[in-house]
Amino acid sequence: MAKKKHAKPHEEENGEAWLLPYSDLMTLLLALFIALFAISQTDQKKMSELAQAFTAAFNMGGPSFFDKAGPNVGRRAETPSDEDLGNSAYFAENKQLEEIQKKMQEYIEENHLEDQLSTEMAEEGLMIRIKERALFPSGSAQLVGQAQSIVPVVAGMLASLPERVVISGHTDNVPISTAQYPSNWELSASRAMNLMKAVLAAEKSLNPARFSAIGYSEYRPIADNKTDAGRQQNRRVEIFIARNYRFNPNEAPGGKQGANADTGAANAPAANSGPATPSTNGAAGSNMATTSM
């Protein structure tokens, strides 16, 4: 009886068995790379392409998760431009100072004080100038006259500002020598100090740490002392609201919000345009008498 021959396994068939898992692996890798690419470039078009790619790769039918994406999918968040971020703090502060200047000018015009009060916006901050006769008798630091009406108005405006405030006293070049004021140094410093105290007393919400008083004597004239009109202009007190920020035209995109303005003497206005912002250590410099709270 003849023996049956057993058929040998087909070697070629066994050798091709790896193709099926390999093709599945390649399909999964393709889907992974498509997903990674789409995540890095997310928008509505890419989300649609991603949905189609997954559907094709896995041969799925029917609606997919990506067909039900919410309205915010692929939408870029609205962010301020680099230009807006660069000096936003400066512009906000500048707007606030301009509003104070406008209110002060309205008060001056309504009360016909143009010949006694004035305002000036400078790079370093806002200046309010008050002539001597509006607040003090000649040769005295005692507040009289219109001080009772002017001081509360100024104090109320300063209450809305966070900036440092420097009150400076100035005289003409006519010497003074009394028991109370041996020189113009004492007179100018006393006037600044008395005005500062009156402002703080008029508005209790003001922080004394923000305030400094300084006397410049005759050494910061804004007019010629050779004429009576010039000397009248030089006899004054100034309320200087120092900026916290400076405009930085060269600021790199994405940088800090404005350049922080040091309120020290190094960043003070020029000698003929307004007072330097003094240090608050109470020391008297060689050309100024300083008092701080």
pLDDT in tens, 224-249: 999 999 999 999 999 999 998 888 77
Alpha helices, DSSP H, located in 87-183 = 88-110, 147-158
Look-up of token digits 């008498």: 289
Average per-residue pLDDT in the chain? 78
Q: Are 131 and 229 in contact (CB under 8 A)?
A: no
Torsion of CA 251, 256, 257, 263, to 10 degrees: -90
Least confident of 81-95, 160-174, 193-207: 81-95
Taken in order 151, 153, 159, 164, is the CA torsion positive or negative?
Answer: negative
Instruction: Enter the tokens of residue 105.
Output: 């000018």
Overall average pLDDT of the 136-140 stretch: 94
Overall average pLDDT of the 152-170 stretch: 94
Kindly state the DSSP code that residue 288 receives in the 8-state scheme: B
- Share of residues in the chain with pLDDT > 90 (%): 48
Reported as a single tens digit per residue, the pLDDT across 199-222 is 999 999 999 999 999 999 999 999
Q: Which one-letter amino acid corresponds to residue 159?
A: A
The predicted structure's pLDDT at residue 248: 79
Q: Are 280 and 196 in contact (CB under 8 A)?
A: no
How many other CB atoms are found less than 10 A from the CB of residue 265? 13
How many other CB atoms are found less than 10 A from the CB of residue 255? 14
Global model pTM greater than 0.85: no
How many other CB atoms are found less than 10 A from the CB of residue 270? 11
Domains of the chain plus CATH, in order, are: 22-68 (no CATH), 82-292 (3.30.1330.60)
The predicted structure's pLDDT at residue 13: 57
Measured CA to CA, the distance from residue 227 to residue 32 in angstroms comes to 87
Q: pLDDT band for position 290 (50/70/90)? A: low
Radius of gyration for the alpha carbons in the chain, expressed in angstroms and rounded: 38
Q: pLDDT band for position 39 (50/70/90)? A: confident
Q: What separation, in Å, do the N-terminal and C-terminal C-alpha atoms of the chain show?
A: 126
Q: What CA–CA distances, in Å, run from 70 to 43, 46, 48, 74, 79? A: 12, 15, 13, 9, 21
Look-up of token digits 């005759």: 218
